[in-house]
Structure 1
Amino acid sequence: MIRETPQEFLDILKSYVPDPQKPVGVARQEFSEFFAEFQTDERPAVEQIAIRDDLQGVWCSVPEAVPDRTLLFFHGGGFTVGSTADHLGLCAELARVAQSRVFSVDYRLAPEHTFPAQVEDAVAAYRYLASHGYPPHRIIPVGISAGGTLVLDLLLTLRDQHLLMPPAAVCMSPIVDLAFGGESVTTNRDNDWLTAARLAAIRTLYLGGRDPDDPLASPVHANLYGLPRLYIQTGTGELMYDDISAFAKKAKWAGGQVSFEIWEGMFHFWQIFGKQVPEARAAVAHVGAFVQETFGR
């Protein structure tokens, strides 16, 4: 069980929801320091790589990693905060349970860089790997929250550009509809640490006035044919539970192989809180099992 009562823990998390009234740099620093504190103490060996002058990737390695397996990781933070540095505990866990190296992408953030800059960065990172000796069939994109959105955007772009696809992808609590129209936004308001106001701020800052129904902004509106295997996690307590469920159903209707895993009582981004939430480490272990099964085919 969570060491504090769930409501106490959610209240703590709510107190660190990024405040749009604060300077961007302050909000990012507070997010980074706070969320790093609640991850496991596992830390990978890291090596920073320049994908472009304005785009960095970080190799995260653990002794268990098989050299020719790569997880292309996109961090969370609502497209406005977050970095590899404040997801290192999660990266280490993923590397260990998947027995894979992790290549984490520090994509550009809003409001300085609005949609679709982040999508462009995701594609650039994938192209970087493919051009540096990492074949697509040995790469699995993995993302959490906004990072899960970028995983889907990457797949849609690769498909539309007729590029070689990875064999599978993992989305943990992805943002799939920037309209945030699901009933769970209201019914789960006491079960999640995210707030409707934070969701609205994400939409405004990320899109910069662009259409929230754009299929790359809200993948639930995309044509989902021709995607590789998807493994999607959501918690029943998430504000976006209904949106994610609708996306998973649509992906299945499009003929895709979708493993949709629902975690009872879990809130948004729970997978990162390895120190506090036993279900976090369990969920990451499930990701590892999916990755290993995929690479073992």
Structure 2
Amino acid sequence: MPEASDQPPMPTDAGILEFLRLSDSFYPPDAVSASVAQQRIWYDALCAGFDRPLPEGMTTDDALVGAVPTRRYRPARVRANAKLLYIHGGGFVLGSLDSHHAICAELAEFAGAELISVGYRLAPEHVWPAQTDDAFTVLKLMLGEGARVVLIGDSAGGNVAAGLTLRARDEGLSGIIGQALIYPGLGGDLVSGSYHEMAQAPGLSTADVSYYRAVLKAPADEPVAHPLLARSVAGLPPAYITVAHFDPLRDDGRLYAGRLAAAGIEVWFREEPQMVHAWLRARHMSDGARDGFQALCLAVSRLAGSL
């Protein structure tokens, strides 16, 4: 196997390069070497720097589901026959109801669907399975109320979303009609494929992924925490999986899409050739990210029945 280059692989998309420059000004590339408290300060500033106003007529409501904070987004015109459940990224260590506020709002607006975002507990204060338990609490309430649900998650949230579909299937819960996984981490081996090729990718390195896994403390043999380990993916809902080319997590999404397709699950897979991890935040400054977000919104809309 060739040695990983000391020079990080870089896209050429001008908007993404500017996005990386701005992101580094808020959240330094070596952030994981700082305390968790400092990481959260930097990350919150980053998220606020990319925030945008709510779409016209959209309302939001914060509420507790048990002890789990949630935020409900309701567009001025609801036309979908399903609800969206969004689980945010941040390596299980960072993020909140505020960190993905504009992203959730724009997804809900495009799909014409109510969306509920989950403010799950974070590591290291709360190790696995706190994150999946919190999201599952909200999911069970939605399903218990008769909702048809599309699960959406980015990065660590994509991991939680994929794990929830396995958990719901194994517990005999019905009503999840789709899943949209955005550059998800699904438990790849950290040494081969994109973990090697993109080990020094801008925005997220393989060492960063290893750090977040160590902080989470999920059992290494647990499929809900590492969906690529699932013995069977039969019976899972249709999926849209999007990955970034310049991302160590890229092949997790590729491999999972392949497994779903081989099991006869309807799956749409899209690799963004110029994108880096966390490109969702660049959707208003990069043509490639804008196209990727449009494709995501269309897929979510189809899964939710609003197209």
Length-normalised TM-score, structure 1: 0.89
- Correspondence for 2:214 among 184, 204, 224: 204
- Where 1:227 maps in the other structure, the secondary structure is coil
Structure 2: unaligned runs, 5 residues or longer: 1-11
Give the Å deviation of 1:102: 1.2
Counterparts of residues 184-223 of structure 1 (less than 5 Å): 184-189=194-199, 191-207=201-217, 210-222=218-230, 223=232
Distance 1:200 1:73 in 2: 24
Does 2:292 correspond to 1:278?
no
Does 2:302 correspond to 1:289?
no
Distance 2:16 2:275 in 1: 13
User: Structure 2 vs 1, CA of residues 17 and 112 (structure 1 numbering), >3 Å: closer, same or farther?
Assistant: farther
Counterpart code for 2:252: D
User: Structure 2 vs 1, CA of residues 165 and 129 (structure 1 numbering), >3 Å: closer, same or farther?
Assistant: closer
What's the counterpart of residue 254 of structure 2?
Answer: 245
- Correspondence for 1:70 among 83, 101, 106: 83
Give the Å deviation of 1:190: 5.0
Distance 1:103 1:198 in 2: 28
Given that 2:203 and 2:278 are in contact with CA atoms closer than 8 Å, whether structure 1 keeps it comes out as: no
Distance 1:244 1:190 in 2: 19
Give the Å deviation of 1:68: 5.0
Counterparts of residues 217-236 of structure 1 (less than 5 Å): 217-222=225-230, 223-236=232-245
Length-normalised TM-score, structure 2: 0.86
Given that 1:178 and 1:213 are in contact with CA atoms closer than 8 Å, whether structure 2 keeps it comes out as: no
Counterpart code for 2:219: D
Give the Å deviation of 1:20: 3.8
Identity %: 26
User: Structure 2 vs 1, CA of residues 13 and 195 (structure 1 numbering), >3 Å: closer, same or farther?
Assistant: farther
Distance 1:62 1:280 in 2: 23
- Cα distance per residue 1:200-257 (max 9 Å; x no partner): 11010011xx432321121111121110101000121111112221121112122211
Given that 2:160 and 2:225 are in contact with CA atoms closer than 8 Å, whether structure 1 keeps it comes out as: no
- Where 1:217 maps in the other structure, the secondary structure is coil
Counterpart code for 2:82: R
Counterpart code for 1:89: A
Counterpart code for 2:228: V
Distance 2:160 2:130 in 1: 11
User: Structure 2 vs 1, CA of residues 278 and 35 (structure 1 numbering), >3 Å: closer, same or farther?
Assistant: farther
Distance 2:29 2:178 in 1: 31
Does 2:103 correspond to 1:93?
no
Give the Å deviation of 1:296: 4.7
Distance 1:25 1:90 in 2: 24
Distance 1:84 1:121 in 2: 13
What's the counterpart of residue 174 of structure 1?
Answer: 184
Does 2:172 correspond to 1:159?
no
Distance 1:262 1:197 in 2: 22
Given that 2:143 and 2:175 are in contact with CA atoms closer than 8 Å, whether structure 1 keeps it comes out as: no
Given that 1:215 and 1:221 are in contact with CA atoms closer than 8 Å, whether structure 2 keeps it comes out as: yes
Does 2:33 correspond to 1:25?
no
Distance 2:210 2:198 in 1: 16
Matched residue count: 290
- Correspondence for 1:260 among 269, 275, 278: 269
Counterpart code for 1:143: G
- Correspondence for 1:37 among 38, 41, 49: 49
- Where 1:46 maps in the other structure, the secondary structure is strand
Give the Å deviation of 1:17: 4.7
- Cα distance per residue 1:2-36 (max 9 Å; x no partner): 55562x54355354357344332332122022123
Distance 1:211 1:220 in 2: 14
